[in-house]
């Protein structure tokens, strides 16, 4: 059973979920059924595997509902030989699986192209053996993390001091696996019932060469990879266009594919006149009138670029290699090329940000509107959330971000800028899940039924802190009470802090991430202090 923690229309839009399902469904030794929160394929008489793809922190509690729906014990240590092996993957679990670790038997760290087949092959080798033997066998496969075989250690103050194997013969650390093949992913399901109806999605690039210091999509998925045009992209596009005339080109920065202009030229052929093409985020410096007109010719009405901040100082801090002039040029070129709108994405609450930096963001948007009349502008703005495996993982959420969101709204909305702020409160909960260890698992259980409420999360956390919740046990260890709320969410941690994910190796090591953070903060303040 392969589950997704949302409805069918949302889940079937996820390219990652589609690829995992197709990879498993094509194996002759598996019979795969799909499960969403609102529907699912007919159940097996006996399910041996239950998988979940997790791409957003706030979907974590839904896992427990799906497990109970299938009558699977939610805690991994309560499952018997007859219960399914519960496995999961996706960016949230690859970055930091610890808050959800007690619910999973297996976590797959990294790209699934090679890792999924290796997981199934290893499981087939020990099929029929006791559960404990199967898990120990799986723990030897590179990229497979079995949380029950790793125990957290805490000092007398409740501080995490490490997570170690519980017995000899287990790897001390587990490394994220990286697919290095020539092709990336594309849709395996095209349906009008998708949130993006009838679109064939093609992954044009994976990762991003810019390495903005906060960005999980860049750091977690390194290195930057681009499939070739003739052997990768064109065959993937041709396959989809045999079924639909809507094409979505995906990636953190699709126009940085070295052959993207050639792809647009190829799509400019007369035989594609009825094809509608849309692209995800593009780098502002790559926007030209030819790019804009090529997209407009194929039905695109807007472009999306991430600016992070209107302050050039802040962009230097986060390593966003982008000038105000390049942003203005992107707007001019978009209009020249026949596009109608420009969508910008930014953040508030970044490390070292001041009120003046937020004012600069408002000033930039108002200048763009004045100098490019007739082009519609939208600003999507979120609060900075520290993500595991990035240089800013040691930084906390800044409470002043909430007022800065309101300040942007006050300045921009009356001037006709479409401002779309993300909830500050839910950014706080994202940070809670992103930075916590296994002690959060008891909170996730307690919040069920009220996870749609910020108050529900805070109440459950207070209960855990006061000892009102049942004592959590993981890998045979009695877990202490969780740390104070502010310590997890708002505090910036010292360089020496033991992180819940230190035993899991991402693409770049701790020392490199620290170096990148120090470079950023030295730009924020010549003394190197935030």
Peptide bond into 65 cis (omega under 30): no
User: Among positive and negative, which fits the CA dihedral 147, 150, 156, 160?
Assistant: negative
Q: What is the pTM of this model?
A: 0.94
CATH dotted code for 180-281? 3.30.750
Q: Could you please report the per-residue DSSP string of 222-289?
A: PSPB---IIIIIHHHHHHHHTT-SEEEEESTTGGGSTTHHHHHHHHTSGGGTT-EEEE--B-GGG--H
Q: What is the model's pLDDT at position 60?
A: 87
Rg (CA), the chain: 24
The model's pLDDT over 273-317, given as tens digits with 9 standing for 90+, comes to: 999 999 998 999 999 999 999 999 999 999 999 999 999 999 999
Please tell me the predicted confidence (pLDDT) of residue 528: 42
- pLDDT attached to residue 478: 83
Q: What is the pLDDT of residues 462-488, one digit of tens each?
A: 999 998 887 667 777 788 999 999 999
**What is the rounded distance in angstroms from the CA atom of residue 81 to the CA atom of residue 89?**
22
Longest dimension (CA), the chain: 71
Whole-number Cα distances in Å, 35 to 27, 74, 501? 19, 17, 29
- Give the Cα separation of 92 and 100 in Å (integer): 10
Query: How high is the pLDDT of residue 525?
Result: 66
Structure tokens at 25: 């469904």
pLDDT in tens, 321-343: 999 999 999 999 999 999 999 99
Sign of the CA dihedral running 24, 25, 30, 31: positive
Q: What is the C-alpha to C-alpha distance for residues 239 and 246, in angstroms, rounded to an integer?
A: 12
> Which pLDDT tens digit goes with each residue over 486-516?
999 999 999 999 999 999 999 999 999 999 9
- Average pLDDT for 19-31: 94
pLDDT tens digit string along 388-443? 999 999 999 999 999 999 999 999 999 999 999 999 999 999 999 999 999 999 99
Answer yes or no: is pLDDT of 104 > 80. yes
The confidence score (pLDDT) of residue 527 equals: 45
Digit-coded pLDDT (tens) for 232-264: 999 999 999 999 999 999 999 899 999 999 999
Q: Find the mean pLDDT for residues 148-152.
A: 97
pLDDT score recorded for residue 196: 86
pLDDT for the residue 215: 96
Beta-carbon contacts of 443 under 8 Å, excluding residues fewer than 6 positions away, are 457, 460, 461, 463, 464, 469, 482
For the chain, which residues make up each domain, given as ranges?
Answer: 2-175, 180-281, 433-524
Higher pLDDT, 10 or 469: 10
Query: Lowest mean pLDDT: which of 174-188, 212-226, 433-447?
Result: 174-188
Which pLDDT does position 409 carry in this prediction?
Answer: 97
What percentage of residues in the chain have a pLDDT greater than 70?
A: 98
Residues 6+ apart with CB under 8 A from 252: 205, 207, 208, 215, 217, 218, 280, 281
**Cα angle 28-34-40, degrees, rounded to a multiple of 5:** 140
Residue 464's pLDDT is 93
- Answer whether residue 529 shows pLDDT above 60: no
Q: Which of 77-81, 190-194, 221-225, 502-506 has the lowest mean pLDDT?
A: 190-194
For residue 285, what are its two tokens?
């410096």
């Amino acid at each position: 059973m392969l589950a997704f923690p949302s409805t069918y229309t949302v889940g079937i839009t996820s390219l990652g979920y589609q690829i995992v399902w197709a990879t498993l469904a094509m194996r002759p030794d598996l019979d795969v059924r799909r499960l969403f929160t609102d529907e699912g394929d007919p159940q097996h008489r006996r399910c041996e595997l239950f998988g979940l793809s997790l791409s957003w922190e706030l979907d974590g509690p839904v896992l427990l509902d799906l497990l109970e729906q299938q009558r699977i014990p939610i805690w991994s240590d309560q499952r018997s030989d007859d219960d399914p092996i519960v496995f999961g993957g996706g960016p949230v679990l690859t970055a930091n699986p610890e808050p959800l670790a007690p619910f999973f038997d297996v976590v797959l760290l990294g790209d699934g192209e090679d890792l999924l087949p290796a997981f199934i092959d290893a499981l087939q080798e020990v099929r029929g053996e006791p559960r404990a033997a199967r898990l120990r066998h799986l723990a030897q496969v590179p990229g497979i993390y079995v949380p029950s075989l790793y125990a957290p250690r805490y000092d007398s103050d409740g501080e995490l001091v490490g997570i170690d194997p519980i017995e000899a013969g287990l790897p001390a650390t587990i490394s994220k696996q990286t697919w290095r093949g020539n092709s990336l992913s594309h849709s395996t399901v095209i349906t009008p019932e998708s949130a993006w109806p009838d679109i064939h999605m093609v992954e044009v690039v994976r990762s991003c060469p810019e390495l903005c210091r906060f960005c999980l999509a860049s750091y977690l998925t390194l290195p930057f990879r681009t499939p070739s045009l003739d052997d990768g992209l064109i065959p993937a596009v041709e396959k989809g266009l045999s079924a639909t005339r809507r094409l979505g080109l995906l990636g953190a920065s699709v126009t940085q594919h070295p052959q993207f202009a050639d792809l647009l030229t190829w799509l400019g052929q007369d035989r594609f006149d009825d094809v509608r093409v849309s692209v995800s985020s593009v780098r502002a410096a790559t926007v030209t009138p030819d790019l804009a007109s090529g997209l407009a010719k194929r039905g695109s009405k807007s472009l999306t670029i991430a600016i992070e901040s209107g302050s050039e100082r802040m962009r230097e801090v986060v390593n966003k290699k982008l000038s105000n002039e390049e942003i203005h040029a992107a707007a001019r070129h978009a209009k020249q090329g026949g596009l109608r709108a420009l969508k910008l994405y930014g953040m508030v609450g970044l490390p070292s940000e001041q009120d003046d930096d937020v004012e600069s963001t408002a000033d930039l948007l108002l200048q763009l509107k004045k100098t490019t009349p007739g082009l519609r502008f939208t600003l999507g703005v979120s609060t900075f959330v520290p993500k595991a495996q990035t240089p800013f993982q040691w930084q906390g959420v800044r409470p002043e971000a909430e007022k800065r969101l309101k300040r942007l709204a006050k300045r921009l909305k009356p001037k006709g800028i479409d401002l779309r702020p993300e909830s500050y409160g839910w950014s706080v909960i994202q940070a809670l899940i992103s930075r916590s260890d296994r002690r959060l698992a008891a909170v996730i259980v307690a919040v069920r039924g009220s996870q749609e409420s910020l108050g529900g999360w805070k109440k459950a956390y207070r209960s855990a802190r006061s000892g009102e919740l049942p004592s959590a046990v993981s890998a045979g260890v009695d877990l202490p009470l969780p740390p104070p709320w502010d310590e997890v969410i708002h505090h910036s941690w010292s360089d020496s802090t033991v992180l819940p994910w230190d035993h899991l190796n991402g693409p770049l090591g701790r020392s490199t991430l620290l170096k990148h953070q120090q470079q950023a903060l030295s730009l924020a303040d010549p003394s190197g202090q935030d």
